Amino acid sequence: MSWLPPTALGCGEPAGHLEAAGSRKILVAHRGASAYAPEHTAEAYELAIRQGADYIEPDLQMTRDGAFICLHDPTLDRTTDVETRFPERRTTRSLDGETVEGWFAVDFTLEEVKSLDAGSWFGPQFAGSRIQTLEEAVQRARGRCGVFPELKNPELYAGLVPSLVARFHAEALRLELGSEGVSAMVQSFSRAVLEQLRDAGSTLPRVLLFGAKEAGRWVRPEGPAEIREFAQGIGPAREILLDHPELMAHARRAGLRVLPYTFRGGRVLEDFGDVQAEMRYFLYELGVDGLFTDNPDLFPRNPEGSP
């Protein structure tokens, strides 16, 4: 199992086990350069790569015909014109105990999804941008940077045969994720998903994400040791590390890498003047290994803060 730290060229190379990762900080472009271009589009990924991202982050949902697409929400209506194009296709589902209404990607074929405008919501200059498939994101990254997919909403795909995890594992092998050409890690808020990937024999480093609701379990001294049974890294919400800086020491003892989320120019925590100062504090004062940001161009590559 290799943790693939970035190089000066912005593309990871194998370097042994995760615990042996280099000291270079890892820049993960959250949904691409999503501060400047519509998330999960070719434009956002391309800009992120040009801005020096070590990894682009494709959130993954699935279409009705089994394609992995890069989409954060389970529904299409926030970031596309699906409501106008397919007004009669609105449905209701239960997710995490809540009733959710919308145009769920899993109810549409890939061809239908590809017909949607995924850029106009962000700005008229992006009109006609399309949702990307995982394969398209990987091909764009190949030889240029890594990919760090997140398996989203596993409960939505619980009835799939083969399972969501089995399908992703097969796709990762087909696309040669984790090879020298495409460094890769995989992340999820679901412990079960990461355990299933481990049991399926996936060699991709796995990262457990968690927010405030789950923090109580994992910030305990024994929490990271439990995580180490199924993952090699953690991705806590950045606020958790401010409230529980001792988590860094617990994670280090367990041999876990730490990559908090999400650093945005428009949502800087009140203790910091700007997003670059905020990122610099987490990287060089708290000592995290990398982070997720909407602003890859502002990522401080050194303690002085220069991109």
Known catalytic residues are 30, 72
Pairing of strands 91-95, 98-102: antiparallel
Instruction: In whole angstroms, give the CA distance from residue 169 to residue 120.
Output: 33
Q: How many other CB atoms are there within 10 angstroms of residue 302's CB atom?
A: 11
Q: How many other CB atoms are there within 10 angstroms of residue 110's CB atom?
A: 18
State in Å, rounded, how far the first CA of the chain is from the last one. 30
Instruction: In whole angstroms, give the CA distance from residue 114 to residue 111.
Output: 5
Torsional sign, CA 297, 298, 299, 300: positive
